[in-house]
Amino acid sequence: MNNSLKILENLKKVVMPTLQIIDFRKNLLESFDFFNLNFAELLEMHLENNQIGKVENICNCTFPKLRELHLENNQLETIDLRNLANMPTLEALYLSNCRLISDDNLISIIDGLWFDDRQPNARAILCRLPNLSQLHLQNNLLEVFSMVGMNLPKLELLYLRNTPS
């Protein structure tokens, strides 16, 4: 059964020092603001199957043990991987069945996962995800795919099925 939760308020004011899993899947969330979230023991975050069009302030949160981030089946068109640098233990990133697309004004590391071309060190960011072993990008609107300059020593699964490229 689906819930109809549309807005999450004041999550940053919640103190849950032992929280390990957040599961907001199958709701009607349109955005998710990570600003000042600090869940030191969080292992998994499930935001899939919502209507999330933007992920905000992901660089202003602390998830030192996060292993899985599920954003699949949402309305995302872009996501900036620079903002994932505060998740060094991230093993699996799920972005399938979104609307990730190309944009000629930005440099892409993996198309649809954008780095602003004004940021000279942008290409180094994925290297800050040394434990990333799964990257799910299937069923998006990607037209170009490039991993030039990437160093992902633990990447085992790269899913790109059903993309235009």
Domain count, the chain: 1
94: domain CATH number? 3.80.10.10
Token output for 96: 């399938």
- Give the model confidence (pLDDT) of 3-46 as tens digits: 788 888 777 778 888 999 999 999 999 988 887 788 899 999 99
Distances in whole angstroms, Cα of residue 119 to Cα of each of 51, 101, 109, 125: 29, 20, 13, 11
Distance CA 126, CA 30 (A): 26
Distance CA 146, CA 70 (A): 22
- Give the model confidence (pLDDT) of 40-72 as tens digits: 999 999 999 999 988 877 777 788 899 999 999
Distance CA 36, CA 54 (A): 17
Task: For residue 32, give its domain range.
Answer: 1-165
Strands 68-70 and 92-94: parallel
Question: What pTM did the predictor assign?
Answer: 0.83
- Give the model confidence (pLDDT) of 71-101 as tens digits: 999 998 877 666 677 788 999 999 899 888 7
What is the mean pLDDT of the segment spanning 102-106?
43
pLDDT, greater one: 120 or 53: 53
